[in-house]
Amino acid sequence: MEVLESAAKMRRWSLANRARGQSIAFVPTMGFFHEGHLSLIDIAKQRGDRVVVSIFVNPTQFDRPDDLETYPRDTERDLELCRERGVDAVYFPNAEAMYPEGYASWVTVERLGDYLCGASRPGHFRGVTTVVAKLFHAVLPDLAVFGQKDAQQAKIILRMAADLDFGIEIVLGGIIREPDGLAMSSRNVRLEAEQRKQAPAIHSGLLAARELWSNGERKASVLSEAFRSHLARQAPGARIDYIEVVDWSSLAPVDMIEGDVLIATAVFFGDVRLIDNELLVGE
Ligand code: AMP
């Protein structure tokens, strides 16, 4: 397995492999791997001849300096897991090379970023789309794999890849969960024991809302209210950042549910912010 630290070396590696007729499947990450990341690597292995993983904690997508500082990192372990999982190359750039003195260029996707995490984390998606565009230019993949856990991010990347003619297929992987239902996240290790005990209520609350929808409820506010009261009972230590039912195409909030919608939430336990969602596929 190669570990490449500059965009120029990464591109040379990819061009050499592409010249041999090998397709490249790419998994961008911020490291500190869990089974969610590894599931995306498995999808990449099935879909491409060569698998590239990037590990880069991207400063421009953090809206809170303390969140960036405390973001968990363990590169040695990540590299070992990549080796075990059969990754061919790891792109591991540093922040100074990604954003040198005088850096001034940004990629923004309009509208899809106005809601959900875009509304509560100003500048977050501009940081995401910019870094993913830069990673795409360095890695030159045929396809890239993203997780449904960050559903809004995945929609925005799909839009960017189509709008800007990247010619890269975007593949989505399902949400991988702990046995108690908590969506795996690198941030979970920052939860205190009592917070960790309460955190599965995020998923069970979403399932309670889904249950109402399965039984015919179509008022978005009823689903959101059910989630809020579930959390108030099961997770008194939680503070809801948002709970929204949004149209799956536009990500705009809906009052009445028609067709496919996403019920998405962000919840704080102390200063740890966790997200989760359920896709409700209409008839
Ligand atoms: P991150 O390292 O948090 O930026 O995540 C890298 C990729 O892994 C993103 O495409 C995420 O959506 C995906 N991911 C994170 N958590 C999970 C999970 N629990 N299940 C599946 N994919 C995930």
Ligand 1 centroid to 102 CA: how many Å? Answer: 31
CA 169 to centroid of chain Cα atoms: 17
Residue 160, both tokens: 């960017």
pLDDT tens-digit profile of 226-267? 999 999 999 999 999 999 999 999 999 999 999 999 999 999
Nearest atom in ligand 1 to the alpha carbon of residue 147 is 12
For position 61, what pLDDT does the model report? Answer: 97
Question: Nearest-5° angle of CA 51, CA 52, CA 56?
Answer: 150
HEC-encoded secondary structure of 143-188: EEEEEHHHHHHHHHHHHHHHHCCCCCEEEEECCCECCCCCECCHHH
Ligand 1 centroid to 150 CA: how many Å? Answer: 7
Mutate to test the pocket of ligand 1, among 82, 136, 149 (most ligand atoms within 8 A of CB): 149
Q: Is the CB of 277 under 6 A from ligand 1?
A: no
Q: Is the CB of 186 under 6 A from ligand 1?
A: yes
Protein residue with least CA distance to atom 5, ligand 1: 29
User: What percentage of the chain reaches a pLDDT higher than 90?
Assistant: 100
Q: Is the CB of 40 under 6 A from ligand 1?
A: yes
Q: Is the CB of 244 under 6 A from ligand 1?
A: no
Q: Is the CB of 172 under 6 A from ligand 1?
A: no
Q: How would you label 161-172 residue by residue, b for 16+ Cβ within 10 Å and e otherwise? A: beeeebebbbbb
Residue 12 Cα distances to 4, 6, 100, 138, 217, angstroms: 10, 10, 21, 9, 54
| Neighbouring residues of 32: CB distance < 8 A, sequence distance ≥ 6 | 71, 72, 73, 74, 78, 186, 189
Helix 124-139 with 7-19: angle, nearest 10 deg: 50
Q: Would you call 37 a catalytic residue per the annotation?
A: yes
Q: Is the CB of 224 under 6 A from ligand 1?
A: no
Q: Is the CB of 146 under 6 A from ligand 1?
A: yes
pLDDT value at 74 more than 80: yes
| Residue in 94, 152, 89 with CA at minimum distance from that of residue 120 | 152
Ligand 1 centroid to 185 CA: how many Å? Answer: 7
pLDDT value at 283 more than 90: no
Single pTM value for the model? 0.98
The whole-number average pLDDT for the span 153-159 is 98
Ligand 1 centroid to 242 CA: how many Å? Answer: 20
The whole-number average pLDDT for the span 156-170 is 98
